[in-house]
Structure formats: structure tokens, C-alpha cells
Amino acid sequence: MQKEIKYFVPKDSIVRKIWGRADCILFIFAGASAEFALNKAVDWLYFTGKLPADPLGRLFSTVVYSRLILFSELDEANRTIDQINAIHQGVEKNRGAQIPDWAYQDVLFMLIYYSIRSYEVLYRDLTYNEKEEVFNTFYRVGKRMDLQNLPSDYTDWVLAHNQHLQNDTVQSSFTTDLYKQYRLHLRPVRYHLLKEVQLIIVPEKVRASLSLGNAPLLLPVIWLYKLTRLFKADEFIIAAVLPNAYKAQVGSLNIKA
């Protein structure tokens, strides 16, 4: 009798639908890039030198690792999580200090928030049960990483997420430098597009801290983009807004779940 393959995330999960779409992943990336710039623990990413040297690559690697976990068999996903832990422990050893537990939680919370928000902006509102499913998936990642004091359900997470935004985000010299790097690597047009996406999807606290404004000019474009999906033109639009180095990578992310 053939053994049933157990995946970290079931194939019919809303999480796979979200993370199987390149446009959602790009929006998750855009939101995380804003919040990383404000996070009080961003100095850890500067310590390795990888973030200022290649901010897009560093942030994109976070997305790729997350996606690898979500689409892997259970044992392989757990090995990937353990590998991430080992990498962080190496950084801690080199710096002679520990990455605070709340910093790991902040990253998990970003992935939960922007998974939900991106799908709702680009596709449809999620039900409470679907949001709970997104939360539970990343909760399991956090438990495997041995994170303490995680919220127990989606309702508790909403409160914890708001608290984290108030406590763990701040405008700093790292924020200014990181946005300079974004502009340098993206060039003016794509950089402006990044900020327009951020304006739409980031929480109010992040929007205000970054002075992104209150009048998103991209909303009509998103409605037009939704129409292009009917004609299978969305992949061409996604490719048009990406730097050449990332077109192939992001294009390969589309999975019809």
C-alpha cells in the first residue's frame, strides 16, 4: 500500500492559492519591504551586510524560503525551518548577541498580514476561517522555530499584530538608507510603483511612519489589472514592472492551485 504524502500545507488550502500567485507574492514582497525598513531589529540584517548590498535579493529570499516551506512535504518543510534557525544562530554567534524573539515574531506577523491583505486587494475578501487558516500555517512555522508566547488564534493575533506595530516599528537612519537602496536598485519608475503598492497594502501605522500619503493612485490600475487577467495579460504586466534579474524567478512562482 502506497504511503500517503503529507504536506506542510494541504493542497486545497487558501494559503497555497495565495502563495501560488506571482502577483500576490509581489504585493507581499512590497509590504514586507516597507515594514522591514521600520523594524527595530533591522540592524541585524545590516550586520551581515546583505540587506544594504542587495535589498531586493535579501527580501526576496525571505519570500522564497517561506514559499518553499508552504509547498513542501512536511518533513522537508520542517528541515527548511530548522535550516533557517541554524543560519540565524550562526549570525548570532558572529555578533555575540541573540536576535530578540519579538523580531522573529514580527517577520511571521508580516507574512500573515500581507498574505491576507494582498489576496484581498487583488482577488476577494477572505472569510474568517480562511484568515484563521493563514494564521495557523505560520503559527506552525513559529512553533517549529520554538518561538514563545505566540497568539493562539487569528483573533488574538489581530490584537498582537497591532501591539507589535506600535512597539517594534520606528523611523530611523536604517529606514532612510534602505529606501535609498530601494530607489538605487529599482530605478525611479519601479521605485515609485513600489511605494504606490505599499500605500495600498501596509497598515496605517506603517503608512504614517513612512509618510507614504493617503491617496493611492494605483487603485484604478489594479482594477484594470484585474480585467487583464480575463485575457491572460497579467503575466506580461508583472514582467514589465520587474527588474530583469527577478523576472524569471517571479514568473516561475505562478501555480494554479
Is the pLDDT assigned to residue 74 strictly greater than 80? yes
For the segment 103-132, the average pLDDT, to the nearest whole number, is 95
Backbone angles phi, psi at 96, to 5 degrees: 75, 30
* Highest mean pLDDT pick, 147-151, 225-229, 230-234: 147-151
What was the pLDDT predicted at 34?
A: 93
Residue 67: pLDDT band (50, 70, 90) is: confident
User: How many whole angstroms separate alpha carbon 1 and alpha carbon 75?
Assistant: 20
pLDDT digits (tens, 9 = 90+) for 137-185: 999 999 999 999 999 999 999 999 999 999 999 999 989 998 998 898 8
What was the pLDDT predicted at 246?
A: 62
User: How many whole angstroms separate alpha carbon 197 and alpha carbon 58?
Assistant: 19
Place of cell 517561506: 66
What was the pLDDT predicted at 257?
A: 46
For the segment 55-77, the average pLDDT, to the nearest whole number, is 83
Q: Residue 224 burial by CB count (10 A; 0-12/13-18/19+): exposed, middle or buried? A: exposed
Residue 96: pLDDT band (50, 70, 90) is: confident
For the segment 124-143, the average pLDDT, to the nearest whole number, is 97
| Among the ranges given (73-77, 151-155, 210-214), the one the predictor scored with the smallest mean pLDDT | 210-214
| Among the ranges given (50-59, 112-121, 131-140), the one the predictor scored with the smallest mean pLDDT | 50-59
For the segment 3-30, the average pLDDT, to the nearest whole number, is 89
Q: Where are the domains of the chain?
A: 14-242
What was the pLDDT predicted at 5?
A: 84
What was the pLDDT predicted at 2?
A: 58
Give the residue, 130 or 53, on which the prediction is more confident: 130
Give the residue, 112 or 234, on which the prediction is more confident: 112
